[in-house]
Amino acid sequence: MTVTRQPDQQHPAAPDLAQLLRPVVRESSVSEVAKRLLDHLSAGDIRPGTRLPAERQLAEALGVARSSVRGALSALDVLGIIEIRPGSGSYVREGTSEFLPRAINWGLMLGQRRTQDLVEVRTYMEGVSARLAAERATDEDVARLEEHLRHMRDAGGDVKAFIDADIAFHLECASIARNSVLSDILHSIRALLQVWMERVSDIEGTVSGTLCEHGAVLQAIRDRDPEAADRAMAEHMQMASARLRASMQTSS
């Protein structure tokens, strides 16, 4: 006798996901399957709390082996995007506010165009931030930037401390710019800054180069020179982007 299992009433089902998914055209791989699932998650096709279809259904919809699906689900579980509950299934985690950094991190690993678009937008906004900061900085503002740079120098081999000080420097620039919209946007992509720095921390020359580039931005703001601040930040963004690309190539 076939027993029909009733949907879990506490979690929204995903009956249409199998229809959304298309077969993976290239040779099946864990990363390709994970990317396809992530595309639907980030597009909002699958709501937080949703129970994903069984491995067999996903494998059939994607046209891949169940082992590829199993590996992809395990990777997404490690990243904290889904939760695998033995005997129950795989569920999209509820913490949507924490989803962006994980999605960005996975996107960086896969070289997604969406992540490159975020990098491009950030580059432009950082230049505007530095220019406005140079126009509007007080002596107290400059002192705070100097403190953040000092913390970066004093971090030594503490990668987390260096990254935290780096992010604080950029957010301080946005605060000094005294443009609430710009500041809010840059704060909202703090996750991107965090993931970016984590990705490039192992690239040779990252620490020394980053310190030098931040020093140039600070000097321009200290001199109240908007043009120089814009140029210095543009140079920093160009070099940081190059380090990011090197990181992506290394991991590919």
**Cα gap 141→66, rounded to integer Å:** 56
Instruction: Please give the pLDDT value at position 33.
Output: 83
Q: What is the pLDDT of residue 160?
A: 87
pTM: 0.60
**CA dihedral in degrees (228, 187, 104, 91; nearest 10)?**
180
- Residue 14 clears pLDDT 70, i.e. is over it: no
Q: Supply the mean pLDDT for the chain.
A: 80
* pLDDT bucket at 16, cuts 50 / 70 / 90: low
pLDDT for res 28:
41
Rounded-to-integer distance, Cα 89 and Cα 21, Å = 18
pLDDT recorded at residue 210: 95
- Predicted confidence at residue 199, as pLDDT, reads 73
Cα(140)–Cα(143) distance, rounded to whole angstroms?
A: 5
Pick the range with the lowest mean pLDDT from 16-20, 137-141, 193-197. 16-20
Is residue 118 over pLDDT 60? yes
Residue 108 confidence (pLDDT): 53
Q: Which residues contact 246 (CB under 8 A, 6 or more apart)?
A: 200, 203
Taking 70 as the threshold, does the pLDDT of residue 107 lie above it?
A: no
> What is the Cα–Cα distance from 151 to 166, expressed in whole angstroms?
9
Mean pLDDT within 40-60: 82
Q: Does residue 193 surpass a pLDDT of 80?
A: no
pLDDT in tens, 52-85: 999 999 999 888 889 889 888 887 776 667 888 9
- Both tokens of 240, joined, read 């940081």
Cross-strand pairs, 83? 91
Which of 76-80, 84-88, 146-150, 242-246 ranks highest by mean pLDDT? 146-150
Residue 102 CB coordination number (10 Å) = 20
Question: Quick one: pLDDT at residue 11?
Answer: 55
Q: How confident is the model at residue 243 (pLDDT cuts 50, 70, 90)?
A: confident
Q: Under a CB-based contact definition with an 8 Å cutoff, are residues 202 and 248 in contact?
A: no
Q: Would you state the pLDDT for residue 103? A: 57
**Do 38 and 77 touch, CB atoms closer than 8 A?**
no
Lowest mean pLDDT among 15-29, 48-62, 90-104, 173-187: 15-29
Report for 34-48, 50-64, 127-141, 195-209: range of highest mean pLDDT: 127-141
pLDDT of residue 27: 42
Give yes or no for residue 228 having a pLDDT over 90: yes
